[in-house]
Structure 1
Amino acid sequence: MLKKISAESIKELRSKTGAGMMDCKKALEASEGHIDLAIETLRKKGLALADKKSNRIATEGIIESYIHAGSRIGVLVELNCETDFVARQPEFYKLAKDIAMQLAACQSVYYISKDDIPQEVLLYEKSIELQKEDLVQKLPEIKEKIVEGRIQKRLKDLCLINQLFIRNPEITVEELVKQHIALLGENIKIRRFERFLLGEGLETKKNSFTQEVSKMINKK
């Protein structure tokens, strides 16, 4: 006999995963009401569905913006889907807004995924690691393994999809997108983004008080 699942449990699971109501109900029934097990079930299902759709062409979507409080940081992001219908859905719009907010918060992120990182950046990161003092006495084969591990970690830090989602640190941005692929039934791609920092690239005036006084005296 199936355990009766409350509407509150279904609502809680839906808010945590973004899955449909019936999927949440079935996952809770299968896990006998255990939220954590139901979340794991839905994640596996979502990842499987998302992987099947990942090669489908996505040319529709929206360009979303986010301006942080104080208007000193701004982000533009293009999020693609397969149809204009999905692009108009509130869940898709919210996803785009959340991604833009994530980019404003993660200013060390410069790429969407590791596939977007230029070869020269990879070579530069490797050269930096190879010169670190703690590796000088290591055997070449051991040094290579350590460097490779550190580079992979560094590359993840540079990529958007590997970041923990700021609204739910239990999942990555990649998992967030895949959840929405499962929810909306279409492939979704983060195509590109641009981050704007107020005053970035401009020379700032750094004259000291002493220099200002000296200038005033010399004018007399």
Structure 2
Amino acid sequence: MKISIKEINKLRKITGIGIMDCKKALIHSNGNIDKAIRVLRKKGEKIAINRSFSKMKDGAIISSVNFNYSCGTIIGISCETDFLSKNSEFLSLLSILSKQSLLFNNKTDFLSSSYNEYGSIQEMIVNYMGIVGEKLELKIFEKIDSPFVMNYTHNTNNKIATLVGFSKKVNNISMAKDIAMHITAMNPIAIHEKEIPHSLINEEIEIIEDQVQKKNKSDSIKKNIIQGKIKKFILENTLLNQKFIKEDKITVQEYLDKHDKNLKINLFKRISI
């Protein structure tokens, strides 16, 4: 099967693996990107697992919370060039829309709502398109509600945004912000093991078994290796079991307990583009 340079570069960008290895993996998987990633992982290549992401090529995203921290949104606007996505006026527009989005529960209602002299948010976006000369579209609209919601946006490039909902009001704002920042940086799959999809666990077991079968070890040792690797996978990819990014001697759960043993994390949403 002939694999195009474009497909190889796409896989290389996702995985960080060399061109020839990417090409071989794509040939082996008949050009399927997801299967090619599994091929590379079975070979032992360390590749980050993609979770919540948007296929938006260029643009920016931002997260916001309302005045009493009871809800939060993540919105994202696509554009045609990376240059515009970094423009201060474009990011200012995104910030304005982000605050306004907190008043609505879904993308449709938000876009049809009026703002200042504009008949709708959609009209406002179209008007801005005429100024910058690029097609713009509200691609992302996510909202969560919880007794307390904290947000974090990776402001270096506005490509990653996070919301985290807590079980009760949090008095220590910086602690809540630290948790949201940790999620942004460490990209957990779930809060705890029970929330990891069975399909993902089964896929990971298949990859690990394939890696271990190549080792010249007894069946009992191989079984222990597989169990150990699965346990490590769960610990590294569940939020409460991850090592806290600001204090790697303790887990996120232990960091929470230091501040409030009765505080729980209800949910989180992390989106990257």
- Say which of 203, 206, 219 aligns to 1:140: 219
Identical-residue share of aligned pairs (%):
30
Number of matched residues? 128
Task: Give the TM-score of the pair, scaled to structure 2.
Answer: 0.43
Q: Any conservation in 1 of the 2:205–2:226 contact (CA below 8 Å)?
A: yes
Task: Give the TM-score of the pair, scaled to structure 1.
Answer: 0.53
Structure 2: gaps of 5 or more residues: 1-144
2:201 alignment partner in structure 1: 122
2:191 partner SS:
coil
How much does 1:142 deviate?
1.7
1:22 alignment partner in structure 2: none
- C-alpha distance in structure 1 between counterparts of 2:195 and 2:223, whole Å: 23
- C-alpha distance in structure 2 between counterparts of 1:88 and 1:152, whole Å: 31
- Say which of 95, 105, 113 aligns to 2:175: 95
1:131 partner SS:
helix
- Say which of 46, 67, 79 aligns to 2:153: 67
- C-alpha distance in structure 2 between counterparts of 1:158 and 1:134, whole Å: 24
Looking at secondary structure, tell me which structure has more strand per residue.
2
Q: Which has the higher contact order (CA 8 A, sep 6+)?
A: 1
Q: Does 1:176 align with 2:251?
A: no
2:266 alignment partner in structure 1: 191
- C-alpha distance in structure 2 between counterparts of 1:145 and 1:133, whole Å: 10
- C-alpha distance in structure 2 between counterparts of 1:171 and 1:101, whole Å: 16
Looking at secondary structure, tell me which structure has more helix per residue.
1
- C-alpha distance in structure 2 between counterparts of 1:169 and 1:100, whole Å: 16
- Say which of 172, 185, 188 aligns to 1:105: 185
Moved over 3 A (4+): 133-137
- C-alpha distance in structure 1 between counterparts of 2:240 and 2:257, whole Å: 11
1:132 partner SS:
helix
Structure 1: gaps of 5 or more residues: 1-58, 82-86, 201-220
Larger Cα-atom Rg: 1
